[in-house]
Amino acid sequence: MTGYRIDLDPVMIDDASALFDALDRPEVGIYIGGPYADSCEGMAEVIARWLSGPPGDRTDETWLNYVVRLADGTVIGHAQATLHDNWAEVAWVLGASWWGQGFGKETAEALLKRVTAFGGIQLVWATVHPDNVRCSFNCSSYTRSYCVYCVLISTFINKCFCCIISPRAYNCT
């Protein structure tokens, strides 16, 4: 995508080693219940589960899984979306070496563009642990364990949702 320092490439089993290396720091898993995997082989198993798609009883879902890659090919994280009829849930995890440099915002924007390319998606949401917020929205006033960010696509297309909207504005919580 023009103007971005990153790109989202569909994840493949061959990405397991690079993705494991990018995410293999204890602080990466603090807010997501621990690391994705504890070895390259374990990461390959995780990727295989992602590639297999949703369980058979969840026929209303489509899974999108990407590696987040710098222009030089370096894998710095993972991004994913679960598409439902007219809404999607998105998430991304970046390696700690790339935190605080704007790559999370770029990943969110790129993922939002990928999701909206499927057509019919009107709402995108993500959850984040309040202590993991690195943008201007302050979750500290919430008493629940996670904040919910929502974006109405028609209103906020081409903007990073984690930095622009309070979930209360659209009663998404």
**49-86: b or e for each residue (b if 16 or more CB lie within 10 Å)?**
ebeeeeeeeeeeeeebbbbbbeeeeebbbbbbbbbeee
| Span 33-80, pLDDT tens digits | 778 889 999 999 999 999 999 999 999 999 999 999 999 999 999 999
β 75-83/123-128 pair status: unpaired
pTM confidence score: 0.79
